[in-house]
Amino acid sequence: MRIIAILNQKGGCGKTTIAINLTHSLQNKGYKTLLIDSDPQGSARDWNAENDGQIIPVIGLDRESLATDINAVKDSYDFIVIDGAPSIAKLAIAAVKIADFILIPVQPSPWDIWATSDLVDIIKARQEVTDGKPIAAFVISRVIKNTKLSMEVIEALEPYKLPILNSYTSQRVIYPTSASEGKTVFNEHTMFSDATLEIDAIRDEIIGVLNGTKN
C-alpha cells in the first residue's frame, strides 16, 4: 500500500482537483484506491456528495490522529491519496510523516512558489531523519500553453532542490466544470481527452518513481 499526499499551504493551486482526478486515474488502472480529505474545508467531501459517492471512495479525516486512522484502513487499498490541509498545521505535518510520496502543486505564479517554502522545509527535515523519505516532487498546475511562465516557474523552483515532474496540468475548462458536476475528467464524454492524458501521465510518473523505474 502506498500513500500519496498532495500538499500546498496556498489555496487555489489545484490541489483538490489533482487529488480527485489522480485517485480516479489510479482506480481506472485497476488499483484499489481511497481518497482521504484531510482539508477542514471539505472540498473533496462536498464533491463526493454531488455524485453520491459513485465515482471513488472518499472519507474525511481532518484530525491529528490521521496516521492512526489511516493505519486502520490501509490494508484494504493499494493506494491512498490524501488531499492535504492548506496550511502548515499539525494535519499537514501528519501527512508528511505517513506519506510515501508528496506531490506539491504550484501554479505559474511567484505567490505559489513563495508559499511552498515552509512546506519544503518540513519535508526536508523529515527526509534528514528517515533516510530521504518521503519522496517529494513539484507538479506545475494550470499551465498556460505557449507562454514562458512554465519555464520561469521551473527556474524559480530550482533553489528548493526538489524534483519537478515532467507531467503537468494545463489551464482547461474541463477541470472546474467536471468538478462542479461531481465528476472527474474521466467521465464518458471526455475519455482519452487531453485532460485525462495529463492526469494519467502524472499517475504513471509517480508510480514510476515509487517503483524505482524513474529517477
pLDDT tens digits, one per residue of 31-57: 999 999 988 888 999 999 999 999 999
In this structure, is residue 215 part of a structural domain? no
Residue 209: its H or E element: helix 194-210
Distance between CA atoms of residues 11 and 43, nearest Å: 11
User: Domain containing 118: what range?
Assistant: 2-210
Any domain includes 178: yes
Closest CA relative to residue 153, chosen from 7, 39, 13, 6: 13
- 183: domain CATH number is 3.40.50.300
Distance CA 176, CA 25 (A): 17
Q: What is the C-alpha to C-alpha distance for residues 190 and 34, in angstroms, rounded to an integer?
A: 23
What pLDDT band is residue 108 in, cutting at 50, 70 and 90? confident
User: Is residue 205 a part of any domain in this protein?
Assistant: yes
Q: Identify the pLDDT of residue 156.
A: 84
3-state SS class at 11: coil
pLDDT (tens digit, 9 = 90+) per residue, 129-152? 998 899 999 999 888 776 666 677
Average pLDDT over residues 108-122: 82
Is residue 14 very low, low, confident or very high in pLDDT (cuts 50, 70, 90)? confident
Q: Is residue 101 part of a domain?
A: yes
pLDDT of residue 138: 95
Structural domain includes residue 125? yes
Domain-located, residue 69: yes
What residues have CB less than 8 Å from 183, skipping those under 6 apart?
A: 51, 55
Residue 6 banded pLDDT, cuts 50, 70, 90: very high
Question: Does residue 146 sit within a domain?
Answer: yes
Q: How many independent structural domains does the chain possess?
A: 1
| pTM for the predicted model, two decimal places | 0.91
Q: How confident is the model at residue 164 (pLDDT cuts 50, 70, 90)?
A: very high
Angle at which helix 15-28 crosses helix 194-210, to 10 degrees, equals: 80
Residue 145 neighbours by CB under 8 Å, 6+ apart = 170, 171
Please report whether residue 25 resides in a domain.
Answer: yes
